[in-house]
DNA sequence: CTGGGTATGTACGGGCTTCTGACATACCGA
DNA sequence: TCGGTATGTCAGAAGCCCGTACATACCCAG
C-alpha cells in the first residue's frame, strides 16, 4: 500500500508540471493542518482561542476540529478558568494521549533507529540496530522492517503512517534512495514502497536534514516560527530550509547542500572536487587538523567541547582557534541569511557540544558580518544535545503529508 | 486608497503571525490565479484544454473562468479547429485586447520609468523621467506620479492597479522604502501609500530583483517554470527567487542579497565591509580592474561584449579573463543551486552583452563545478537585451497580488 | 441532403466547506 | 435567585467544485 498520497496524474498534454486546483475538501485538510500547527505552536487552546487566532467564528473552528476529535487525534482537556471572571470555562484542545501514533525511522550508514511517536511528540517506544555498511540492500530493508515491527508491536492503536529520514540523496515523491555515498548498496533502492508493503502502512521518505527541520518545527526551537534553517554539522553539512510555513524541496528532492557551497574559492580541495566548500572549514575534521597544526593537546580527538574548555582555561592558541572556528561557522550562516533571510538558524550535530560559548560566538560573528541595515538580526540556536530531533521530524513527516499546510 | 489587499489583523493574542485559514472564496481566487497562470504559460487554451490540464471537468473550468470573462480580463477567441477531425471547435481563451490594463513603475536612482501594460504583457504606453539623485523625496514622488498619470491618461479603461519596482530595500507589506543606498533621501518613504492616494489606485511596492523575477515568470524565460532564480548583475548583484510557484520573500522583504554572500573569504574587501563578497569578483568593476591589470585595450570601458570580441579574436589574455569571469559568475550560481536547486538561472544586466559565448561558458563552468550526481543539470539563460522585464514584472506584481497562486 | 461520430460548452443537482445568527450551557457575583 | 459573561453548538445560507446529462457545432460518409 505505497501511498505518496499525491500520485502525479499519469498523462499530461505538456511536459510541465500539472496545474493543480484548490478544492473544498483540500481546503478542509489544509485548515485541519493549520489548526494542528497552531496547537503545536501555542500549546492547548480552546475553540474560542483558535477562533480569535484565526479571525473566524467559533462555529467554524468547531467544524474543523470535529473530525480530528472523532479520529481520536485530539481530545478535550479539563475545563479551565480563564483570566476574566464569569463565563463558561473553556475546554482546551490537545493531542489525545491515546491518539494513533506515528512511526519514525532514522537511517544512517550502518545504523538504524525506529521509534513510535505520539502525536504530541513523545517517544513511546524505540528500537535501534546496526548493520554492515557493505550489507546488501535486502539486509538493510529487513533491518528497518524488523525494528519498525518491534516498535509497532507495542501499540494497540494502528499507526497513522511511517516517516523515514535518510542520510543521502532521496526522491521523496517515489520514496527512492537515489544515492548514498557511504552505503552505495542502497543507491536506487525504492525503500519507501518496500517498507510500505511489508508493514502495511503509508510511508514517507525524505532527506535527513529536512526531517530534522520538521522536527525542529514540531518540537524544537523552530516551534511557531514561519521561517528558519536547520543545519546539521557533523561528518558532513546539510540544511533543511523551512521557508514561509513550508519545507523547501527542490526538484527531485534536491537542495540544502549548503556544505558544498563555496566560501573560500582559493581554499583547500573538498572531497566533492570543488575548492573551498564550507565543509572544508566548518566540520570537525578541519578543527582537528588545525588543532594538530597548533599542537593543542588531544588534537586528534578534538571536539568543540574540549576546545571550549581549553579556551576558557586561557590557552591562547585554543582561544584563537575557537574564535576562528566560530567565524567559519558564521560564514555559512551569513550567506544563507543574505540569500533567504530565514532569521533563525538551528544548529545540530558536533557543534552543540561547544555550548553557549560557541553559540554566542557564532551569533556575534554572524551579526558583525552582516550589514547593519538588516532588519532583523539573525538568531543562532543549538538543537538539544540528546538529539532525537530527526526521529521526531521523521514522525512529523507523516503529519505534514497528511495535513499539508499550503494548498 | 492604500490597499496591500491583506492588511494584517490588528490584534493578536500572541506576537506571532496569525493563523490564516482557507476559505471557499479564497480557493476560488487561487483557482482563478492558477488558470491565468496556465494561460500565460501555455498560450491561449480552450476550457476543455484547461480541464484536461488540471484534471477537472470542463464545467469546473467554465465556472472558474466565467467571472474573469465578465470582468473583461479574458475573452474568447475565434473558434479553432483541433488536430482531430470532427467535434465542436474549441473557443480559445486569452487575455482580452481591451482588458483593464496594469500600471508599472521602475524606480532606480535618478531615473523613473512608468508604463501601462496589458494583461498579456504588451506595453501600451511608456514614459520616463530623470531626477537628481539628491532630490528631496517629494520631488521623486511628484516625478513618479507625473509619469504614472501620463501613461494612465492614454487608456480609457481604468487600470487594475500599480506595481512599483524599487532598487533598494523595501517593506512590501507597508509599501515603504526602508533604505536606498544611492538615494538616501528616499529612506523611510512610504511611497506606496503616497502614490496610491494621488492616483487613486491600489499600489504594490516591491524589490527590483523580485519584480524582475515575476517579469521573467510572466513573460520571460521563466514562463511555465515552477522554480528559478532571476539574477541581476549590474553595478550591484541581487536575486529574485521563485520557488515552488511563489516568489520568496523573507521577513520585512529581506532576502535575495546574493551579491553579498562570501565566496572568497580571503579576497578583496567589499564596500559592504565584508571580504570576498560575490560582488567583488562578478561585477563589471572587477572586470575592468582585471582588464587594466592585463593591459587590455579599452580596459576602463570594458564590457562583456568587448571582452567576448577580444577573446574570439584570439587575444590570449582576454580569453583567460573571459574564462575567469565566467568562472566567477558560475560560483554564485553553483552556490545557489546547491542550496535551493532552482534548476534555472536567468541572468540580467551587464552580462547579457556577453552573448552566447558568455552564457555557454557560465553554464559549462557551473555544471563542471557541481557534483555529477545532481539530478537535473542547472540551466543558464540570459534575459532579453532590451530589458523591459522589470517593468513587466512590476505590472505582474498587481496580478500576483490580485490572484495569489498559493493559499 | 441526411445521419452518425465526435468534441465542446453549459445546466442542474449533490456534496463539501465556511459564514452568520441564534440558542443552550456553565460559571461568577450580587 | 437572577443578571452578566463567555463557551460551544445548531440550523440555514452562500460559495465553490464535481459528476452527469444535454444542447451545440463541426466533419465525414453514404
Say which nucleotide is closest to residue A21, CA to C1' distance: D17
pLDDT at A18: 63
Q: In what order do the strands lie in the sheet with A162-166?
A: A123-130, A111-117, A102-108, A162-166, A203-207
What is the end-to-end Cα distance of chain A in Å, rounded?
25
pLDDT surpasses 70 at A14: no
How many whole angstroms separate alpha carbon A215 and alpha carbon A218? Answer: 5
pLDDT at B17: 56
Q: What is the mean pLDDT of residues A291-304?
A: 94
Q: Report the sign of the C-alpha dihedral through residues A23, A26, A32, A35, in that order.
A: negative
Q: What is the mean pLDDT of residues A20-43?
A: 87
Tally of domains within chain B: 3
CB A246 within 8 A of CB A199: no
**Are A134 and A228 members of one domain?**
no
| Strand B162-166, strand B203-207: pairing | parallel
Tell me the CATH number at A31. Answer: 1.10.10.10
Q: What is the mean pLDDT of residues A163-184?
A: 86
**Are B34 and B144 members of one domain?**
no
The phi-psi region of residue B197 (left if phi > 0; otherwise alpha if psi is between -120 and 50; otherwise beta) is alpha
**Are B178 and B288 members of one domain?**
no
Helix (H) and strand (E) counts for chain A?
Answer: 12, 14
| A chain contacts of residue B331, beta-carbon cutoff 8 Å | 262, 265
**Are A136 and A263 members of one domain?**
no
pLDDT at A9: 33
The length of chain A, given as a count of residues: 407
For residue A407, the surrounding DSSP H or E stretch is none
Is B277 within a domain? yes
* More confident position, A163 or A400: A163
Is A136 within a domain? yes
**Is A250 within 8 Å of B256 when comparing Cβ atoms?**
no
**Are A233 and A357 members of one domain?**
yes
Tell me the CATH number at A205. Answer: 3.30.420.40
Q: Percentage of chain A with pLDDT > 70?
A: 92
Q: What is the mean pLDDT of chain A?
A: 88
**Are B36 and B119 members of one domain?**
no
Is B13 within a domain? no
**Are A144 and A43 members of one domain?**
no
Positions of chain D reached by protein Cβ under 7 A: 3-11, 14-21, 23-28
pLDDT surpasses 50 at A20: yes
The phi-psi region of residue B276 (left if phi > 0; otherwise alpha if psi is between -120 and 50; otherwise beta) is left
pLDDT in tens, A339-364: 999 999 999 999 999 999 999 999 99
Measure B53 CA to nearest chain A CA, in Å: 6
How many whole angstroms separate alpha carbon A192 and alpha carbon A214? Answer: 19
**Are A67 and A133 members of one domain?**
no
DSSP state of B99: S
pLDDT in tens, A58-86: 899 999 999 889 888 899 888 776 566 66
**Are A379 and A233 members of one domain?**
yes
Is A83 within a domain? no
Please name which of B66, B14, B68, B62 lies closest in space to residue B36, comparing C-alpha atoms: B68
CB B101 within 8 A of CB B123: no
Q: How far is CA A195 from CA A2, A274, B257, in A?
A: 9, 36, 43
The length of chain B, given as a count of residues: 407
* More confident position, A386 or A32: A32
Q: Which residues contact A123 (CB under 8 A, 6 or more apart)?
A: A115, A116, A117, A388, A391, A392
**Are A195 and A322 members of one domain?**
no
pLDDT at B15: 35
Res. A52 pLDDT band, cuts 50 70 90: confident
pLDDT surpasses 70 at A374: no
**Are B57 and B127 members of one domain?**
no
Which three cell numbers, joined as nine digits, stand for B312? Answer: 574570439
Which three cell numbers, joined as nine digits, stand for B190? Answer: 512610504
Is A137 within a domain? yes
Helices (H), A348-388: 355-369
**Is A339 within 8 Å of B53 when comparing Cβ atoms?**
no
What is the end-to-end Cα distance of chain B in Å, rounded?
25
Cβ neighbours of B68 (radius 10 Å): 21
Is B150 within a domain? yes
**Is A27 within 8 Å of B31 when comparing Cβ atoms?**
no
Give the DSSP letter string of B162-213: EEEEESSEEETTTTEEEE-TT-GGGTTB-HHHHHHHHHTS-EEEEEHHHHHH
How many whole angstroms separate alpha carbon B82 and alpha carbon A284? Answer: 64
* More confident position, A17 or A60: A60
Helix (H) and strand (E) counts for chain B?
Answer: 12, 14
pLDDT at B407: 57
Positions of chain C reached by protein Cβ under 7 A: 4-12, 15-22, 24-29
* More confident position, A178 or B318: B318
pLDDT in tens, A261-282: 999 999 999 988 889 999 999 9
pLDDT at A86: 67
Q: What is the mean pLDDT of residues A230-254?
A: 88
How many whole angstroms separate alpha carbon A221 and alpha carbon A219? Answer: 7
Measure B267 CA to nearest chain A CA, in Å: 8
**Is A338 within 8 Å of B249 when comparing Cβ atoms?**
no
pLDDT at B18: 62
List of chain B residues with pLDDT < 50: 1, 3-16
**Are B197 and B234 members of one domain?**
no
- CA A41, distance to chain mean position in Å, is 16
Closest partner CB to A226 (pick from B17, B34, B246): B17
Give the bridge partners for A135, in sequence order.
none
Is A3 within a domain? no
Q: What is the mean pLDDT of residues A187-197?
A: 94
Q: Which domain holds residue B175?
A: 102-214+390-402
Give the bridge partners for A230, in sequence order.
A240, A346
Is A170 within a domain? yes
Cβ neighbours of A70 (radius 10 Å): 9
Among A95, A129, A150, the domain boundary falls at A95
Amino acid at each position: 500500500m505505497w501511498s505518496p498520497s499525491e500520485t502525479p496524474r499519469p498523462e499530461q498534454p505538456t511536459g510541465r508540471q500539472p496545474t493543480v486546483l484548490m478544492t473544498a475538501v483540500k481546503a478542509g485538510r489544509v485548515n485541519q493542518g493549520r489548526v494542528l500547527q497552531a496547537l503545536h505552536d501555542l500549546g492547548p487552546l480552546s475553540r474560542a482561542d483558535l477562533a480569535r487566532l484565526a479571525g473566524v467564528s467559533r462555529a467554524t473552528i468547531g467544524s474543523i476540529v470535529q473530525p480530528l476529535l472523532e479520529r481520536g487525534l485530539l481530545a478535550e482537556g479539563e475545563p479551565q478558568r480563564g483570566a476574566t471572571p464569569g463565563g463558561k470555562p473553556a475546554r482546551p484542545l490537545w493531542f489525545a494521549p491515546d491518539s494513533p501514533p506515528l512511526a519514525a525511522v532514522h537511517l544512517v550508514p550502518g545504523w538504524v533507529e525506529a521509534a513510535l511517536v505520539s502525536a504530541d511528540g513523545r517517544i513511546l517506544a524505540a528500537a535501534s540496530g546496526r548493520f554492515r555498511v557493505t550489507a546488501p540492500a535486502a539486509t538493510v530493508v529487513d533491518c528497518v522492517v524488523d525494528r519498525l515491527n518491534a516498535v509497532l508491536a507495542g501499540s494497540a492503536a494502528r499507526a497513522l503512517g511511517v516517516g523515514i529520514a535518510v542520510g543521502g540523496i532521496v526522491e521523496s515523491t517515489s520514496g527512492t534512495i537515489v544515492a548514498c555515498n557511504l552505503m552505495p548498496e542502497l543507491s536506487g533502492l525504492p525503500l519507501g514502497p518496500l517498507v510500505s508493503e511489508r508493514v502495511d502502512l503509508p510511508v514517507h521518505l525524505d532527506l535527513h536534514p529536512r526531517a530534522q527541520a520538521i522536527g525542529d518545527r514540531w518540537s524544537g526551537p523552530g516551534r511557531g516560527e514561519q521561517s528558519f534553517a536547520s543545519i546539521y554539522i557533523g561528518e558532513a553539512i546539510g540544511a533543511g530550509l523551512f521557508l514561509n510555513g513550508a519545507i523547501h524541496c527542490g526538484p527531485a528532492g534536491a537542495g540544502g547542500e549548503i556544505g558544498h557551497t563555496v566560501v573560500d574559492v582559493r581554499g583547500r580541495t573538498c572531497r566533492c572536487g570543488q575548492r573551498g566548500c564550507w565543509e572544508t572549514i566548518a566540520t570537525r575534521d578541519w578543527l582537528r587538523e588545525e588543532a594538530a597544526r597548533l599542537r593543542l593537546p588531544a588534537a586528534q580527538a578534538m571536539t568543540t567541547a574540549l576546545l571550549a574548555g581549553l579556551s576558557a582555561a586561557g590557552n591562547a592558541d585554543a582561544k584563537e582557534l575557537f574564535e576562528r572556528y566560530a567565524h567559519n561557522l558564521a560564514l555559512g550562516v551569513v550567506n544563507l541569511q543574505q540569500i533567504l533571510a530565514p532569521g533563525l538558524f538551528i544548529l545540530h550535530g558536533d557543534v552543540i557540544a561547544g555550548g553557549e560559548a560557541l553559540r554566542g560566538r557564532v551569533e556575534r560573528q554572524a551579526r558583525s558580518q552582516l550589514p547593519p541595515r538588516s532588519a532583523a538580526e539573525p538568531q543562532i540556536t543549538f538543537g538539544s544535545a540528546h538529539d532525537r530531533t530527526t526521529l521526531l521530524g521523521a514522525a512529523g513527516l507523516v503529519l505534514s503529508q497528511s495535513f499539508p499546510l499550503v494548498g
